[in-house]
Structure 1
Amino acid sequence: MRNKTTALLPLSALTAALFSPLALANFSVNVGAINVSPNDDSSYLNVVETVAGLPANSAKVGVNSNTQLGLTFDYALDDHWSVQLIAATPFSHNIRVKGSAVDGLPVGKTKHLPPTLLAQYNFGSANADFRPFVGAGVNYTVFFSEKVAPELVNTLVALEAAQASDDVSLSLKNSVGIALQAGFNYKLSDNWGLHAMIAWADIDTDAKVKVNGTTVQPVDVSIDPTIVMVGLRYSFR
């Protein structure tokens, strides 16, 4: 049987390698404001249209924008190539009906975390003060804390599509999609700089309004947001 000391040796070696001065010199952290602005579209709310007597193909859903604290991590692989992980505090979005006589009717709220991993190509010399970059990668969006708006519940009750005692809920499916990015880093000193980027992510979700656990209105939502971040950059040199 391997003793504990022997088992811990590979882990200790890995930790030492990751946090060695040489490895840290390749790391940079960017902190600032990050905004998610949906370029949203959805399938039609056909069930709502039928129950409410609305024209067919007249009502969709829309999602508002939100700004949070952005935190991104860069690791330089060489003078031009790097990888970046985009993270942020949870985004919060209101979902509303878009179009028809019930335009603006609140549907619900949701929060999401969209961790995104990108490969970046940095232009120019590694010692240049101004370095533009482009990136491409994958986004994974996790939706949570979904809540149905009271206005939607009241509307369903008024249309006799639900009763006041019913459990009305909202669920959104997690999403995986591509992400594209462009931006620049500007060096202010050996360690400090400015970071700015704009990105687009393919975020599609299946949303379901449920009454007592039974789906009464499914809708496919394409959020596909434009993501903008501006902040400070610290490089471990």
Structure 2
Amino acid sequence: MKKTLSAALVGLLLGTSSLAHANLSINVGAINVNPDSEVSKIDQAPTLGLNVDDDTQLGITIDYALNDNWVLELVAATPFSHDVDGRAGLHGASIGEVKHLPPTLLGQYHFGQAGDKFRPFVGAGINYTIFFDEQASQDLKNVLGTNDVELKLDDSLGLAAQVGFNYALDKNWGLHGMVSYMDIDSDASVYADGVKALTVDVKIDPVVAMFGVRYSF
């Protein structure tokens, strides 16, 4: 159910292409999510903490031009997978692995004129991050003394800010690059034998960078 949300958002924006194909562009390339390096503290044991590593996936962003300067962009990607590792008193321990989809809708202002080859832009919008397929590690199971361990992360809703550029190679093809900051925070809960054992306020707050090719219809 959760995995269908980003597909639905993509479908909604693609539906507008029937109104004006010339206003639609698709950017495809490598996209990296690099979470904040700050350690997230475990509520029940503040001397213990965890951190989330980065991941690179296939990024797909869809631009719909409202006019020569204002654009709506939907950022999507194949699912990101992150290892969650222990920090502080848990240094060296694996906590688990989580996957997520971070569909983000932004309003952008593009500088210059429609015919310019190089068009820098700035943007701001809303991110909704969907966590799924959370897996507790064997290290965490050993610490809790049971193999019946579940790791759950709540979905996140937050703001996003962006800077980037488009560079036209010809009428249809071009290059696309962007860097975004996304406010992604989640409450993580660990259940042992069906009972909540740990809670963590996970601050991911990643810098998201993408570089790829652009095709304008």
Instruction: Tell me the TM-score normalized by structure 1.
Output: 0.82
Distance in 2 between residues matched to 1:231 and 1:58, nearest whole Å: 42
Aligned to 1:7: none
Match of 1:66 among 51, 55, 79: 55
Measured after TM superposition, the shift of residue 62 of structure 1 is: 0.1
1:233 match:
214
Q: Output the CA distance in 2 between the equivalents of 1:150 and 1:119.
A: 43
Distance in 2 between residues matched to 1:130 and 1:106, nearest whole Å: 45
Question: Per-residue CA shift, 1:65-105, capped at 9, x if unaligned?
Answer: 000000000000001000000000000001111112x3021
Residue aligned with 2:200, SS: strand
Say if 1:72 and 1:172 are closer, same or farther in 2 by CA, change over 3 A: same
Map 1:30-69 onto structure 2 (within 5 A).
30-41=27-38, 43-47=40-44, 49=45, 57-69=46-58
Superposed CA RMSD in Å reads 1.7
Matching of residues 1-237 of structure 1 within 5 Å: 18-20=17-19, 23-41=20-38, 43-47=40-44, 49=45, 57-100=46-89, 102-157=90-145, 163=146, 166-236=147-217
| Cα separation, 2, equivalents of 1:207 and 1:16 | 36
Percent of counterpart pairs with the same letter? 50
Unaligned ranges ≥5, structure 1: 1-14, 50-56, 158-162
Paired residues of 1:42 and 1:219 also in contact (CA < 8 A): no
Compared with structure 1, are the counterparts of its residues 147 and 178 closer, same or farther at alpha carbon in structure 2 (3 Å cutoff)? same
Question: Structure 1 pair 17/87, CA: closer, same or farther in 2 (3 Å)?
Answer: closer
| Residue of structure 1 equivalent to 2:4 | none
| Structure 2 residue matching 1:44: 3-state secondary structure | strand
Alpha-carbon distance in 2 for matches of 1:46, 1:18: 48
| Post-superposition offset of 1:59 | 1.8
Of structures 1 and 2, the larger Rg is shown by 1
Find the aligned partners of 2:15 and 2:149 in 1 and give their Cα distance.
52
Task: Specify the code of the residue in structure 2 equivalent to 1:223.
Answer: I
Gaps of 5+ in 2: 1-13
The structure richer in strand per residue is 2
